[in-house]
Amino acid sequence: MNITVYRKYKKKAYTIGRMYLDGEYFCDTLEDTDRGLLDTMSVEEVKFKKVYGKTAIPRGTYSVEMTYSPKFKRKMPLLGGVKGFSAIRIHNGANPSHTYGCVLVGKNTVVGGLTASRQTSDRLNSKISKALEKGEKVTITIK
């Protein structure tokens, strides 16, 4: 399964995008501020430009696996190999204060936020889990 996020609206305090699963629109996304980070940058350069808890992950492609989150107390998608970041997940949330670098999913029906996020997250988790159970590789590309 290939997950693609196109960052569409880059605002001062948040970034709104659109998520596609294997080329088909799935939902909207909410991330922290896009500071122009790329996965081709060195870890040092990423850390220099990063503002802790307020920076979207570098654009690039990452592996996705389902692992248990102690914070959320359930299995959730975890992105692997994100330079300068740790424990980056795809999860539910309503506004930029819920991101901390993670990718939030839902419907962008309010300015700077998401609605129907938990339901969207649950649907995504199910799709990713089924793909992994079938032996598919799951990746996410942030553009």
Mean pLDDT score, 47-53: 93
**How many distinct structural domains can be found in the chain?**
1
Mean pLDDT score, 80-109: 96
Q: Which range of residues forms the domain containing residue 29? A: 2-142
In the chain, pLDDT over 70 holds for what percent of residues?
100
88: left (phi over 0), alpha (psi -120 to 50) or beta: beta
- pLDDT for res 97: 92
CA dihedral 27, 75, 65, 109 (to 10 degrees): 10
| C-alpha span between 139 and 64 (Å, rounded) | 5
Q: Model pTM?
A: 0.95
